[in-house]
Structure 1
C-alpha cells in the first residue's frame, strides 16, 4: 500500500478522507482546524557570494547586464562561477561592444574600388605620407586613398596571386614572375617563377611559395630563382600563406585533405644568419584547410581555414598551440590592429559579408576552466552584400579598415559616419531553470542625451518577435511592461535596435545596460493540514461505529510506513469524491505528528490524533 495508484473504495462507514488507500475520519474542531494554503515557490536562501548582486534581492527574479566586452556566442544568459554571463551576449550586428559599459554603432563602409572578377581580390595597406592601400583584382593593381584611384603598371599581365610589401615597395606575383615597384609607380621583373606564386614579407625578407617549394628571394642570380628552402614531398602540395612570429617565419599549405603550418628559423652558427627549415609547427584537423595565417605582436597567430577562425599562441620554440574554432565560416583574410584581430566573415552577418573582430585582451573561460585560447568576438564592419571576403587590410597608418568582396570590389570604413542601424540580442534569459516564468518588465539604460533612438523587443521560444517600446530624445525605457509572451515561457531574449540620429550621421545612441524582471510561472502547489482521528473505536457522521479494541497501534504503524517512503500517494476527499496526488510536506515538524492525550495500556488505549501536512504534486484533480 501507499503508492499513487492505491485508492480506497468506499464500503460501509462514511469515512471523510483516504491517504495512500487508508481511510480516516477528520478530527476537525475549534482546537484542531483543517487548513488549505498555497505552497511557497521561492525558497529562503542565504547569499554567501563575495559580492552582492541580483541574487541578494527579494521579490523579483532579475537578470541584467551592464558591460558587453565578452562578445557574442552566448546561448543562455545564466550565471556561472566565472561570471562570463555578465559580459557576454547572444549576437550583434553593426554594433561595437568593445568599450567597457558601452554598446554603440560601428562606422559604416562604402564601396571604393570596383572589381567584377572572381579571381581572389587581394589588399595591402601602405603610406607615403597619405594613407593608402593596394588593390589587386585579376591582373589589375590599383593604388587608392579611399577616394582617388590610380591604376598601377606593375609589370605583369596575368592574375595577381601574391601581394606583399616592405612598407613602401609593393611585390606582386603572377604565374610568370615576381615584380616590384614603389607606391603607384611602374614595376619591374625581379624573379622568374613559372608557377603559381604567393608572397609574404617576414623578418625583413621577401618570401615566396612557388609551386610546392618555399623560397627566400635573396641571393642567386635574378631573375633565376635561388635554391628553395623547402620542397614538399606531398603530391599536389600548395602553399597558401606566409607570415612571421617573434623569431620564426611560418608558411601554411595543403595537399588534398591534409593541411599544416611549417616553421623557418635563423641559423646563427655561421658568419651570417641563414634561414633554415625548423619542421612542422602545427597540423590542422583532417579536412580543415588553411587559407591564411597572420602573425601578430610576436605572440599570436590568426589561422583562417575553410571551416573558420582559430587563434594560436606561439611557443618559445616556435611551435603553435591553437584553440577551437571561434567562428564557423570560411576565413580567407586576417589583419591585426591594437588588441584586435579582424577576420573575414563570409555571408555570416545576417546573410551578408564583412568582418569579425576578436579581442585578444579578453580571453573567455568556461565555468572557471582555463581559457583554452578562446577569445571574445563579435561581427564588425559590413558590406551589406554577400560573397567571399578575399582580403582585409588597414588604410595606411590609420585605424580604418578595408576589405574586399569577391566579384564586387573593396569596401572602406568611413572616417566618421555610423551604420544606420545596429541590432543586439541577449542570450536566452531563463534564470538557470526550466520552470516557466512570467516576464513582466524591461529597463534599458542609455547615455544622455539619446542621439537617435532605441527599440526594445522580445523574442519568445517560438521565434516570434514583439516590439515593446521605442524611445528617442529625452525618453527612457524604465520598467516598460512586456506585451509578450502573453503566456508563461521557459525563456525569452531581449533584442535592442539602435538607430543613428536623423540629422547627424556621425551620432548615435549608446546603451549602457539592460534588465529584465520576471516572476515564477509555475502553478503554485496547494498544502492541506489535516487532523485525523486514530482511535480503537470511532464513529462516522451517521452514528455508525467502527473499530475494535487494539486497532489503533497496527493502523498507526501501517500509516507511518506509507508516509515514511516519501513517495507520491493519493489523497481522496471522500465527501466530494475527488482525488489528487500528494507528498508529505516537510515543514519544521517533518509534515507528520501523532498526539496522544492519555497514556496507553499494554495493548489498548493508543488512541490519539494524527496531524499530517500534504502538498500537491500536480494541479489536476480527478
Structure 2
C-alpha cells in the first residue's frame, strides 16, 4: 500500500534487549519512546499529560512492644538519653535488643555510667615518680587512712595522697611481685620474700632464688609461684621453701598470677604460645581449709594468647588479661572457668586488673589516644541478651587517664575509697583525684544512618543539659568525608535544652553522620563541669525526588504523524499492546524518551490502562484507542 511505512517488529519476550534500550528517529516523526518502542502523542484538551512528585514516605505500622521514634511522622529521628551501654557501636541503628539506644562509638575523659548523665571523669596526679624500665607494682591498703604501696626497682614506698614514705623492706634487689593481707605487705625479689606491717621495716620470710617469682595473698594464705612450681607458704623450715604443692610437667612453664574462687585457688601461666589457668581445690572439712588437689586445668587460652593478669570478683566473674587484650569469664559449679570473647583488644596486652563496685578496671596501655590509663567494664550491664553467660559481652569504655605513654603494669584501689591508682612503667604511680575533674572529655555517637544506605538531609540537632550548667558543652557533626563542623556551644549557665539548631554541615545529602559531644570543666570550680543528658538528630530522605509522569499515547492500527506521514497495518494495535504488556509484566526499568525535546529518563511503569474508542478524523481504523501509562522516574539516573 503506497504511503504506508513497513511493519515494525517488536520482541514479545520482554528480555531480548537491555532495560535502558532507546529509540532513534529514523524517518518517522514520533513524539515519545518507551523501552525502545516509539509512540505518537494522544494529548489534547481532554487528555492531559501530567507530571508530579512521587511520595517519599510510606505509612508505618508500629508493632514494637514499646513505641519508639519509628512511630512518629514527618521527620526521621534518632535520639539518646542514656549512655550506660558503653563504647563499641559503629552504627546507631535499631536492633532486636535495642542496645543502640544506650551505646556509643567511643569516648575519652567522660563518665557514661550514671543513667541519663554524661559527665567528666576525675583527673589523676603523679604521686610516685618512676625513672626505671622495671614493672611498677601498686597495692592499696588502709590503716584508718587510705593509702597504697608502690614498688618499683629496689624501692618500696607508701603514699596517702599527701605524703610519700620510703620503707626499708628488707631486700636490696629489684622487686618482682607485691601483695598484701590487708595489714602487712609482702615483697618478693630473686633472693627472697620479705614482709612488714604498714610502713614498718620488713624482714625475710622465705627464699626464692629466681627472677620468675609471683606472690599473692588468696583464700587467707600466702601463695608463691617460682618458675614452674607452686608453693603454699606455710609449714616447712623458713626461709627454706616448703615442698612444692605442684610442679608443672613442662619445665619451661612460667606462672604469672594468682586469683581466688569460691572453693579454689587459681594460678595462671604460660609456656611459649600456650596460656593456661590451673585450679587448686580446697578441703574445708577441717577448721582451716587446706589445699587438697592441684594443677587441674580450669581453662586454656587459644593458641598464641598468653595470660598476664587474673582477677576474680564477687565469687562469679573472672577478669583475664592477656597479650591480646581482656576477657570476662565465669566460674562454673565445678570451679572451671568459662570465658567469653575478647571484650577489649589491645596490641600491647593487659597486665593489670582491679575491681570495685560493679566494675573491672583494666590496664589500657597506650589505649587512650596514644596515652595510657584504664578501661572500665560494667559487670552489671551485659549486652547481647539479658542472661549472664560466658558468651555475653559487657559494656565498657575508656576511663582514667595518666596522660603519658607507657606500659600499665599495676592498678589497685586506693585504700577503702572509690579512687583508683594506676602505675605506668617508666613514668610512675598516678592517683585519681578525690574531686578535681578532667579539663575536657568527649564522646562520639555511632553513625546515624536510619538503617539505610540512602542519602539523608540532616537538618536539626537538639542537646539537653542540666540547669544550671557548669562548664560548657560543645556539639560537632562528623561526616563521612572526615570533616568536623561545630554546631553549637552551651556555655556555663546556659539553657537546659537547645532545640532544633540548624546543622551547617554536611552541605549535601549523605549516608550518615556522627555527633561529637565535648564537655569542658568549669573555669571557676574544678570539681564541676559540663554535662549532657540527651541528644537528638532530625533528618529527612535525601535521595533525588522521583517524579510521576502520566501520559496518553496513541495506539491504533493506522496513525498519522504531524507531517502527514501515515504508519501502521491491520492488527498493529494488538501487536503493540502485546509488546508493551511484556515490558510492563517484567517490571524492569525502561528508557522514557521525549523525542520532541531530546530528553530521556529511566523509569518504572507503575500502571497502565487501555481505552478503546472511535478515533475521529482521518485516523479511523479497525481497532485502536488510547494507552494511558503512569511512569515513575528512578532517582539519580538519566539515560
TM-score grouping bracket, smaller chain normalisation: over 0.9
Alignment match, 1:335: 354
Deviations 1:67-91 (A, max 9, x none): 0000011111111111000000011
Q: 1:382 aligns with which of 371, 396, 401?
A: 401
Of the candidates 503, 515, 524, which is equivalent to residue 545 of structure 2? 524
CA–CA distance in structure 1, aligned partners of residues 20 and 71 of structure 2: 42
Alpha-carbon deviation of 1:52?
Answer: 1.7
Asked if residue 562 in structure 1 is aligned to residue 583 in structure 2, the reply is: yes
**Aligned counterpart for 1:176 among listed residues 172, 183, 191:** 191
Secondary structure in structure 1 of the residue aligned to 2:100: helix
TM-score (norm 2): 0.93
**Aligned counterpart for 1:69 among listed residues 50, 60, 84:** 84
Aligned to 1:467: 486
Query: Within 5 A, what are the aligned runs for 1:538-557?
Result: 538-557=559-578
Hey, what does 1:41 align to over in structure 2? 56
Matched residue, 1:198: 214
Partner of 1:27: 42
In the alignment, which residue of structure 1 is the partner of 2:629?
612
C-alpha deviation, 1:592, in angstroms? 1.7
Shift in Å at residue 5 of structure 1? 4.4
User: Please, which runs of 5 or more residues in structure 1 have no aligned partner?
Assistant: 586-590
When structure 1 is superposed on structure 2, of 95-104 and 265-274 the one drifting more is: 265-274
Residue of structure 1 equivalent to 2:505 = 484
Contact 1:54-1:62 within 8 A present in 2 as well: yes
Calculate the aligned-residue CA RMSD, in Å. Answer: 1.9
Q: Which moved more, 1:47-56 or 1:504-513?
A: 47-56
Measured in 1, the distance between the counterparts of 2:598 and 2:446 equals 48
Aligned-residue offset at 1:224: 1.2
Name the residue aligned to 2:6.
none
Counterpart selection for 2:436 from 413, 417, 423: 417
Give the structure 1 partner of residue 452 of structure 2: 433
Moved more, 189-198 or 25-34: 25-34
- Identify the range of structure 1 (40-49 vs 485-494) with the bigger mean alpha-carbon deviation: 40-49
Deviates most, 282-291 or 67-76: 282-291
Q: Could you list the per-position Cα deviations for residues 154-199 of structure 1 after superposition, in whole angstroms to 9, with x for gaps in the alignment?
A: 1111111111111101111111111111001111111111113101
Q: Alpha-carbon deviations, 1:402-436, whole Å to 9, x = none?
A: 11111111100111111111111001111111111
TM-score normalised to structure 1 length: 0.95
**CA offsets 1:121-155 (integer angstroms, 9 cap, x no match):** 00101111111111011111111111111111111
Distance 1:295 1:270 in 2: 25
1:370 deviation in Å?
A: 7.6
CA distance in 1 between counterparts of 2:301 and 2:88 reads 23
**C-alpha displacement at 1:26, in angstroms?**
1.7
- State whether residues 446 and 510 of structure 1, in contact with CA within 8 Å, keep that contact through their aligned partners in structure 2: yes
C-alpha contact (below 8 Å) 1:82/1:367 kept by paired residues? no
The answer to whether the 8 A contact 2:299-2:337 is kept is yes
1:215-234 matches, cutoff 5 A: 215-234=231-250
Select between 264-273 and 177-186 the one with higher mean Cα deviation: 264-273
Say which is worse superposed, 572-581 or 252-261, in terms of deviation.
572-581
CA offset digits 1:242-280 (Å, max 9, x no partner): 010111110010111111110011135789743121511
Q: Distance in 2 between the 1:371 and 1:478 partners?
A: 43
Output one character per residue of 1:424-463: Cα deviation in whole Å (capped at 9) or x when no partner.
1001111111111111111110111010111111111121
CA distance in 1, matches of 2:333, 2:386: 29
Give the aligned length. Answer: 613
Tell me, in whole angstroms, the C-alpha distance in 1 between the residues paired with 2:20 and 2:142: 84
Does residue 500 of the first structure (1) align with residue 521 of the second (2)? yes
Are 2:315 and 1:298 aligned?
Answer: yes
Distance 1:493 1:554, change over 3 A: same
What SS does the aligned partner of 1:557 have? helix
Q: Distance in 1 between matches of 2:99 and 2:344?
A: 18
In 2, the alpha carbon distance for the partners of 1:367 and 1:10 equals: 67
1:572 is aligned to 2:621: no
Q: Give the superposition deviation at 1:41.
A: 2.0
Deviations 1:20-68 (A, max 9, x none): 1211112112332211122222222222212222111122111110000
1:25 is paired with a residue of what secondary structure?
strand
* Residue 580 (structure 1) shift: 2.1
Deviations along 1:278-307, whole A, 9 cap, x unmatched?
511111111111110001111001001111
Separation in 2, partners of 1:360, 1:262: 24
Q: CA–CA distance in 1 between the matches of 2:514 and 2:63? A: 29
Give a deviation string over 1:508-564, Cα, whole Å, max 9, x none.
Answer: 122100011112111112221111121222222233332233221122111111221
Cα distance in 1, alignment partners of residues 426 and 382 from structure 2: 36
Query: 1:186 aligned to 197, 201, 215, which one?
Result: 201
User: Alignment partner of 1:424: what SS?
Assistant: strand
Measure the CA separation in 1 of the matches of 2:554 and 2:165: 102
**Does 1:246 pair with 2:262?**
yes
Alignment of 1:11-410 (within 5 A): 11-195=26-210, 196-268=212-284, 273-275=289-291, 276-277=293-294, 279-329=296-346, 330-365=349-384, 372-410=391-429
- CA distance, structure 1, for counterparts of residue 82 and residue 197 of structure 2: 46
Partner of 1:588: none
The 2-side partners of 1:288 and 1:613 are apart by 64
**Alpha-carbon separation, structure 1, partners of 2:522 and 2:96:** 40
> C-alpha distance in 2, partners of 1:382/1:18?
68
